[in-house]
């Protein structure tokens, strides 16, 4: 049975779809139609039938290709547990693990918009931080990656900073391909292509229960050609609503204060001399966005009056 040679494990709303599409553009890589099978989140994958269903996704892979998949559910502790242990039991011992991480405030804002667009959250991010602990939890990057580092070692785990990747997409892609042992000269990435942009997504309305059902995951999502699925989405799903206002300075401070120990621990785990982001720069950047949004709202209210 053919199973993955590498995994993209997340983080959610940090560019995993772009990374997936860029990797599958290389002729030496095979990615399945179902981008996020999430097979390793359940012990069922360790059964004979479950292993066979998982392997079926990779059956079309060529003998000279590396096979991989990208499931953000593999970095959602403590809500999804046992993933690393299942990977160790099922997959090759030299499995390569890729984890792409993003400015924590931007990731949380994007995650909140994802929930808001799906009618799963209100517009106020500050309130949603209390209602949805996953917003902070999924952004605890050190907590999420540490079990993978323990299991596979730093030489087989690559952590990518989203901002660096999009700033030099072709160069970062070539470096990643080389790390995977493939020929970087065969890369064919279009650095202008955008994938899974929040505003262009169409979100389920009445069809949400069907799209979240086991029937859809087992039959529709895994068997329908990607082009047909995209056409169905354009036809059947509603457009995403406008984004809520950027986080207020108070919410920005709350996020950074809660997560900065994780950012420092991540740098220690990776052997970096400093965190991936400058805390003061993030604070200024997101404060300015929040204040500008408030100013625009006041101006609009004055014009309406």
Domain-by-domain residue ranges, the chain? 6-188, 202-239
Per residue in 92-107, pLDDT tens?
999 999 999 999 999 9
Per residue in 38-82, pLDDT tens?
999 999 999 999 999 999 999 999 999 999 999 999 999 999 999
Per residue in 164-220, pLDDT tens?
999 999 999 999 999 999 999 888 777 777 666 555 555 555 555 655 565 555 555
pLDDT grade for 31, boundaries at 50, 70 and 90 = very high
Give me the chain's average pLDDT, please.
87
Q: What's the chain look like in SS3? A: CCCCCEEECCCCCCCHHHHHHHHHCCCCEECCCCCCCCHHHCHHHHCHHHHHHHHHCCCCCCCCCEEEEECHHHHCCCCCCCHHHHHHHHCCCCCEEEEEECCHHHHHHHHHHHHHHCCCCCCCHHHHHHHCCHHHHCCCHHHHHHHHHHHHCHHHEEEEEHHHHHHCHHHHHHHHHHHCCCCHHHCCCCCCCCCCCHHHCEECCCCHHHHCCHHHHHHHHHHCCHHHHHHHHHHHCEECCCCCCCCCHHHHHHHHHHHHHHHHHHHHHCCCCCCCCCHHHHHHHHHHHHHHHHHHHHHHHHHHC
Distance CA 69, CA 98 (A): 10
| pLDDT number for residue 294 | 62
Q: Which CATH class is domain 6-188?
A: alpha beta
């Amino acid at each position: 049975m053919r199973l993955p040679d590498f995994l993209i494990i997340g983080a959610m709303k940090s560019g995993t779809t772009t990374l997936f599409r860029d990797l599958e553009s290389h002729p030496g890589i095979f990615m399945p139609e179902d981008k996020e099978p999430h097979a390793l989140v359940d012990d069922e994958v360790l059964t004979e039938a479950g292993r066979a269903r998982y392997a079926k996704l990779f059956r079309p892979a060529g003998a000279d290709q590396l096979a991989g998949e990208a499931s953000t559910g593999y970095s959602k502790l403590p809500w999804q547990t046992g993933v690393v242990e299942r990977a160790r039991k099922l997959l090759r011992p030299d499995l390569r693990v890729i984890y792409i991480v993003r400015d924590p405030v931007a990731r949380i804002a994007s995650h909140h918009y994802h929930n808001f667009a799906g009618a799963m959250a209100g517009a106020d991010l500050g309130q949603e931080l209390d209602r949805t602990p996953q917003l902070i939890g999924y952004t605890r990057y050190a907590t999420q990656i540490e079990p993978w580092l323990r299991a596979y070692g730093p030489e087989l785990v690559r952590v990518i900073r989203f901002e660096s990747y999009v700033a030099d997409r072709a160069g970062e892609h070539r470096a990643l391909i080389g790390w995977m042992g493939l020929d970087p000269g065969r890369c064919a990435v279009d650095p202008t292509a955008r994938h899974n942009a929040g505003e262009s997504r169409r979100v389920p309305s009445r069809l949400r229960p069907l799209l979240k059902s086991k029937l859809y995951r087992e039959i529709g999502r895994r068997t329908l050609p990607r082009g047909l699925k995209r056409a169905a989405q354009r036809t059947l799903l509603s457009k995403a609503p406008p984004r809520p206002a950027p986080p207020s300075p108070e919410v920005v401070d709350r996020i950074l204060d809660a997560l900065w120990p994780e950012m420092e621990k991540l740098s220690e785990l990776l052997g970096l001399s400093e965190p991936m982001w400058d805390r003061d720069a993030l604070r200024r950047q997101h404060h300015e966005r929040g204040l500008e949004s408030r100013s625009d709202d006041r101006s609009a209210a004055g014009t309406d009056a």
